[in-house]
Chain A
Amino acid sequence: MTMLAIHNLRAGYGKIEVLHDVEMKIEQGQIVTLIGANGAGKTTLLKTVSGLIRPTAGAIEFEGSGIARRPAHKIVGLGISHVPEGRAILKRMTVLDNLRMGAYVRGDSEVERDIGQVLERFPALAERRDQMAATLSGGEQQMLAIGRALVARPRLLLLDEPSLGLAPKFVTRIFLTLRELQQEGKTILLVEQNARQALQVADHAYVMERGRIVLRGSGQELLKMPEVQRTYLGQSAA
């Protein structure tokens, strides 16, 4: 089943168009990776999907229904959670309150159980549950951001550079978590600078340049393409 389908999408900031005719398709249960240089428009694409930016043209379909004109606070309730660039945790709130905010769209009785599961998944958070989120380390903040998104019970997760600025130990942990989440049935759209690892976990991948999708294929295929190796994997042409 197709989870997310993006057609001819155009979006930007004010009069400046950043995304030109973007096409993308994500099947249920896949990890799809999007790579691209700084300023290519990756963040803009995620913000458009999650409703922070209103597209000027094109369509976004989530599980078959159009969501392109809905506001962000409605989209999260449909099952799409966006973990923004730079771990937008709520620094003046406790770890636990951050997780409770993750459940803001839910009204059922299993919220506390789900929060418990996140704390089990990330024991560092459990130890610090009553601390202000500002006091967490960068890696812990990223775990909190991901954990908070999970509490909303999304079917599609949008992750914007989750490994940015993290120590290798945490980077490994994040990629392990992504695989676990896939096994649990989540679908993931991953934006990464860490192209090698991101392509390795990817079922499918896209390369964006200046607001357009210029390459696509399976993760393995992209890893082997010379232009990808040259530009994104830092290898001279073999």
Chain B
Amino acid sequence: MEKFTRFSSRVVPLLVDNIDTDQIIPARFLKVTDKQGLGDNLFADWRFNADGTPRPDFVLNMPAHRGAQILLAGDNFGCGSSREHAPWALAGFGFRVVISTSFADIFSNNAMKNSILPLALAAGDHARLAALLGADPRTELTVDLPSQALLVPGGAAMRFPIDGFAKTCLLNGVDELGYLFRFTEEIEAFERTTSRS
């Protein structure tokens, strides 16, 4: 897994609450057997007209936000379906961080397994950030995972919480399956003592 430490990028503001994974990647694009190409259909029904042309008024299509690797979303991002295709699509499009005030549990787990940081800000910081981007859409932010800080030009750093284990995994690119395999003996013992096979 790719290591995640510190990087700077511009931001795409998509300030809608409760963005569900059906919006992130609609179900009709799930008829795939690999992870490739899903970024092309990220937010497909918000991004494209019926004839497949991009909607110029949708934020992801605006030239000012091209190449941005941070998505700023409203509350409770990633609710609904457990599809890991959602972080695959976000990563495929080039996003490495999603900022919200809270994340649905399954989405948050799935995101971190794909080196995407679900960054939860306090509501006040979130609102300040949204205002800042409203004033200057080209604002560049720095995400510093080791110090759990979001650095905003001309303002105090915004702190964000992250589970210590998840942080270590992201920083070192630790693969959870590799970690689980360290406990093969314990798993075998558990199966023996509880008569599971």
Q: Is B one of A's binding partners?
A: no
Residues of B within 8 A of A (CB): none
